[in-house]
Amino acid sequence: MLDISRFVLAAAGSEPVSNGGSEEVQHELPNIITILNEYVFHGTSVGDFLHHWENVIFSFGIALFLIVIARLAARNPQMIPSGLQNVVELVVESLENFIVGVIGPEGRRFVPFLGTLFLYILFMNWAGLIPGFKASTASVNQTIALALTVFVYVQFVAFKENGIKGYFDHMAGQPRNALQWAFVPLMLPIHLIGELAKPLSLSLRLFGNVTGEDILILIFVGLGVTIMSFSHLPIGIPLQLPFMFLALLTSTIQALVFMLLSTIYFAMMLPHAEEDH
């Protein structure tokens, strides 16, 4: 029998755990890839590959899951929706209303991107609460990739909507008199640094919160197993359950915050935002 309780205790105690022939400190519950790497593919090239691409594998799994749900919902559309189609349409309509409420009517063209971004992050966050799965957003590489995607798209929209002249005019602080032009050497670097800081803040916020949830759940799982260690069975008291329900809420909030800030970044770059201001 696999000694999963030893594996969990080692992780919860921040002791080095063998993983693909290497020793590393675990900060999350063992997932199916970690277990396969430890007990089936230990020290093999397959194990090293699975361990190295672990976050990518789980994130692709979530993407595939969302694609399948979308295809099933749109396979046989009905005028009066029911079942899965009804649920998907409700989610899409709610996201559209939210985004349009922030950006305005022209925000509808960003609903596919921002809505997909929210659902992708949400389900990646929730995946970490399912035994054997992992929240890919607990990897800073994953969150930086998501933030850079938003950053590149926002800059593309800014160039497209404002033109090169309008884009750099915005970055320079829209100088209109001699005093404002005198501050351009100061304002331009500040705006450029601010644009670069946006993806960094987005990625670190999401990474930090999801990682914190994983560590908290891991600690209480380890505590529950420790309390039952006298039985010498791979079981424990589920002390982590209340925190898992709390993590459902906080994971949803984190995905919503990521989408909301991304939506605001788009709104700030559109011409109407500057005119209204």
Say if 147 falls within a structural domain. yes
| Cβ neighbour number for residue 54 with a 10 Å cutoff | 20
CB 216 within 8 A of CB 239: no
Say if 248 falls within a structural domain. yes
Shared domain for 45 and 129, answered yes or no, is no
Shared domain for 133 and 222, answered yes or no, is yes
Residues 171-213: tens digit of each pLDDT = 777 777 777 777 778 777 887 888 778 888 888 999 999 998 8
**Whole-model pTM?**
0.83
Say if 71 falls within a structural domain. no
Residue type, 166: G
What's the structural domain count of the chain? 2
Shared domain for 20 and 144, answered yes or no, is no
Shared domain for 27 and 163, answered yes or no, is no
| Cβ neighbour number for residue 92 with a 10 Å cutoff | 16
Structure tokens at 81: 């929706």
Residue where a domain terminates, one of 17, 35, 52: 52
* Distance separating alpha carbons of residues 258 and 266, to the nearest angstrom: 13
pLDDT of residue 275: 45
**DSSP run (H or E) holding 182:** helix 178-182
Residue where a domain terminates, one of 35, 52, 69: 52
Shared domain for 139 and 220, answered yes or no, is yes
pLDDT band at 119 (very low <50, low <70, confident <90, very high): very high
Say if 211 falls within a structural domain. yes
Say if 92 falls within a structural domain. no
* Distance separating alpha carbons of residues 32 and 49, to the nearest angstrom: 14
265 half-sphere exposure, CB direction, 13 A CA radius: 27
CB 161 within 8 A of CB 270: yes
Whether 21 has a pLDDT exceeding 70, the answer reads no
Say if 115 falls within a structural domain. no
Whether 99 has a pLDDT exceeding 90, the answer reads yes
Whether 79 has a pLDDT exceeding 80, the answer reads no
Shared domain for 125 and 208, answered yes or no, is yes
pLDDT of residue 7: 52
* Distance separating alpha carbons of residues 119 and 187, to the nearest angstrom: 36
Mean pLDDT (the chain, rounded) = 82
Boundaries of domain holding 35: 1-52
262 half-sphere exposure, CB direction, 13 A CA radius: 31
Residues 132-180: tens digit of each pLDDT = 899 999 999 999 999 999 999 998 988 888 888 877 777 777 777 777 7
Say if 263 falls within a structural domain. yes
Q: What percent of the chain has pLDDT over 70?
A: 87
Residue type, 36: L
Shared domain for 142 and 257, answered yes or no, is yes
CB 113 within 8 A of CB 95: no
All residues at 6 or more sequence positions from 244 whose CB lies less than 8 Å from its CB, including other chains: 129, 217
* Distance separating alpha carbons of residues 106 and 99, to the nearest angstrom: 10
Shared domain for 36 and 149, answered yes or no, is no
Say if 255 falls within a structural domain. yes
Structure tokens at 210: 């999801």
